Structure 1
Amino acid sequence: MSDILSTHPSRDTFDLDELRAAIEAASSCASTCATCADACLHGEDPAGMARCIDLCNQCASICRAAADVMSRPGPNGDSWEEVVRACIAVCRECADQCASHDMDHCAACAQACRDCAQACETLLAVAD
């Protein structure tokens, strides 16, 4: 991904290192959340994990969308920031939910969510 971002004509619009980190964290979080939701669904008590499954699925969807939007760094107004803020919000909520369960997959998901929220916050902090 780093090569393609560095060739973009609007590459000076963002700090490329922070942009790459946020895209990678969002992509990783999306796949981790999808796996966590699936693990919860196929675990011993899927009904008891309904809130976790729902949040993981929401987080996966929003992280995918955020990664997609961030992968297009051309000047397009400020709406991208709102997508990134939504990603941060759902990642925090999902991290809290997953952290409340004593399962390895939920612990991994909580960490991926925290990492994504942090990378997105860092990107917003350095955005022009």
Structure 2
Amino acid sequence: MALSELELNDTGEKCMNDCFEAIQACEWCADECLDEEMDMSRCIRLCRDVADLAADHARFMARNSNYSPQLAEATAGAAEECAEECSRHDHEHCQVCAEVLEECAESCRDMASA
């Protein structure tokens, strides 16, 4: 089944796609942070939280759950906090992650208010 067959509106489809991108960016960032010499524990924890929340939110959207708006809000908040943390680091993986998460937070907020 293609994503477009899930009968999501444009806002929902964008949010789901952004969640998938956030999962990938956060998993990559967290893994790369493990190899950094400085303490990156906060970044790793936040990335893991966002990856899990985004995955759950995508599943909730796929099944048209009544709880999707609340999870969209939680995902947006976590993505914003993680993006802020990642943007503090000069590492490429952190900068890419921050950019992806800003987009994810915005689309999740749009989804929550739709």
User: TM-score under structure 1 normalisation?
Assistant: 0.82
Aligned to 1:86: 74
CA-CA distance at 1:4 after TM superposition: 2.0
Identity value in percent: 30
For each residue in 1:71-113, what CA deviation from the matched residue of structure 2 results, as whole angstroms up to 9, or x when unmatched? 122xx43x22111110001000000000011111100000111
Deviation at 1:43, TM superposition (A): 2.2
- Give the secondary-structure state (helix, strand or coil) at the position aligned to 1:44: coil
Rounded Cα–Cα distance in structure 2 between residues aligned with 1:120 and 1:33 = 16
Distance 2:53 2:102 in 1: 14
Within 5 Å, give how 1:1-128 maps onto structure 2.
1-6=2-7, 16-45=9-38, 48-73=39-64, 76-77=65-66, 79-125=67-113, 127=114
Unaligned runs of 5+ in 1: 7-13
Aligned CA RMSD, in angstroms, stands at 1.4
- CA distance, structure 2, for counterparts of residue 55 and residue 109 of structure 1: 11
Unaligned runs of 5+ in 2: none
The normalised TM-score by structure 2 is 0.91
